[in-house]
Amino acid sequence: MQLDPFFGLTYRAKMRPVKALIIFVLISFALFAVPAVSPTADFFRWVDHDGVVHFTDNLHNIPESRRRTATRIKRQERFRPPEPTRTLPSTIAKASIPFEKLGQVVVVEAMLNKTTLAKLVVDTGATYTMISMATAKELSIDPQQSQRTMPFQTANGVIQAPLTNLESITVGGMEIKNLTTAIHDVIPSSHVAGLLGLNFLSNFRLDIDTDKGILHLEKK
């Protein structure tokens, strides 16, 4: 079974995912089938000589010998509510962040509101960044006080996930302020606190080096 990088995943061909990963992918697909992604967030998928699948948003990151067979992953916008103003720091232009793998899922460490460390799955198929109920509580955020919600289609029907604005979220020194974030227990793992979605990732040129275990982010 192979996993499509549309969900923000990289994988080695012919590798069988673990059961927990299958559960995650199914949940991720169900939850993010309704919200759409930014129309500018196209990605390229390519396979290296070892059979490892990569994705990047910059064609020049692909070796020339592999560009001819690279596949562009197009995205179409269907729904996107107004996004609050976000700011990037001017002192840091790019960063290389080590990541860990949960099955074949890429997980990075993020600092939320400059106070709380959280491990988030890098998911280019998710419109919004999402944190768990427990993480929201740790940040002293009460989901029941939220006056904004976002509909998400799940296996049990449509839910209304509360939305909040994080004061800041920082990954490898790359910071976005005032980021709209959904609150829902999307991942059945206490090891992971949520998803790092496109409303964070689309501010950067993104490349994942699966061989070295490094996520490269460069400010646009």
Decide: helix, strand or coil at residue 160.
Answer: strand
pTM, full prediction: 0.64
Joined together, the tokens standing for residue 48 give 């290296």
67 or 207, which is more confident? 207
User: What's the domain count of the chain?
Assistant: 1
Q: CATH number for the domain including 27?
A: 2.40.70.10
Confidence class for position 186, pLDDT limits 50, 70, 90: confident
44 or 114, which is more confident? 114
How confident is the model at residue 86, as a pLDDT?
52
Side chain identity at residue 161, one-letter code: A
User: β-pairing, 71-73 with 94-98?
Assistant: unpaired
What mean pLDDT is reported for the chain? 75
Asked if 20 and 103 touch (Cβ cutoff 8 Å), the reply is yes
Q: The domain containing residue 125 runs over which residues?
A: 5-219
CA distances for 27 relative to 20, 78, 106, 108, 192, angstroms: 11, 20, 16, 19, 14
Cα 10 from Cα 2, distance rounded (Å): 10
Top mean pLDDT of 14-18, 37-41, 64-68 is at: 64-68
Confidence class for position 31, pLDDT limits 50, 70, 90: very low
Joined together, the tokens standing for residue 138 give 């740790």
